[in-house]
Amino acid sequence: MIDFPCVRHRARIVGASPAHDAPNDFRAMLTPVLEGEDSVSHSKDAYLVFIGYGESQAELGKIVQENGTDRKVRFLGRVEPNQILPLTAGADLGIIPYQPIDLNHKFCSPNKFFEYVQARVPMVTHDLEFFRQMNELHGVVTTGDLSTPEGTARAINGLLNSPGRLEELARLCEKASPALSWDEESKKLLEAYAKFLN
């Protein structure tokens, strides 16, 4: 699957993690970034950088060409796993646009969420149960309606244009990072296994 950080806004990066490696999903995500008056592409020095590779890359390149925004988009291709977090840490905003298309997505707790927290990257997500819970506990997420390009654009631009809020979210990620680490999450997994095996 192609994973995409990132929109760079001046020195800032927006990371996004799409639910599927499918052109239509990426087209929906690209629209608020590249098209329309309120898109991120109308911000000076805003860039979208894809990390990874997959069957959709050719289609994505075509979308970028169609929009005449090739200078705004970069495809980095395959990146070594140990480089993902350092690249993510350069982001100012992470996007997790998973939609409640089935129970798996409705109740998902994506790895990308934990990566963003560990990298101290604020995030915007669709309004799903897990993210609401994490917000109540740690305040690290901004939820919104990411089911439409317009809603996604509002969420992205709202945070990019609120540096104080981004800084606050980054501090909350740092505060929550010990509790939302694999060291802590692994204990829950081992407890679940123990209950099942006993």
At 21 the pLDDT is: 46
Structure tokens of 77? 């291709």
> Can you tell me whether residue 102 is helix, strand or coil?
coil
- Torsion over CA: 145, 97, 13, 90 (sign): positive
Query: Is the pLDDT confidence value at 138 over 60?
Result: yes
Give residue-wise pLDDT tens across range 57-100.
777 778 778 877 777 777 777 788 888 888 888 878 888 878 88
Is 159:124 a contact under the CB 8 Å cutoff? yes
- Residue 41 CB partners (closer than 8 Å, separation 6+): 33, 34, 35, 67, 69, 72
Interval 119-126 mean pLDDT: 90
Q: So what's the pLDDT on residue 45?
A: 55
Residue 135 pLDDT: 93
Would you say 92 and 142 are in contact if contact means Cβ atoms under 8 Å apart? no
Buried b (16+ CB within 10 A) or exposed e, 146-160: beebebbbbbbbebb
Higher pLDDT, 55 or 106: 106
At position 144, the amino acid (one-letter code) is G
Delineate the domains of the chain, giving CATH numbers in brackets.
4-197 (3.40.50.2000)
Mean pLDDT of 139-156: 84
**10-23: pLDDT as tens digits:** 445 555 554 444 44
- Does residue 130 have a pLDDT over 70? yes
For every residue of 19-33, DSSP letters joined together read: SSS-HHHHHHHHHHH
Q: What percent of the chain has pLDDT over 90?
A: 20
Sequence-distant (≥ 6) Cβ neighbours of residue 10 within 8 angstroms: 44, 45
pTM across the whole model = 0.77
154 vs 141, residue with greater confidence: 141
**193 half-sphere exposure, CB direction, 13 A CA radius:** 6
Task: Quickly list DSSP for 38-97.
Answer: TSGGGSTTEEEEEBS--TTHHHHHHHHHHHT-GGGEEE-----HHHHHHHHHT-SEEEE-
Average pLDDT, the chain: 76
Cα separation, 130 vs 107, in Å, equals: 6
Is pLDDT above 90 for 128? Answer: yes
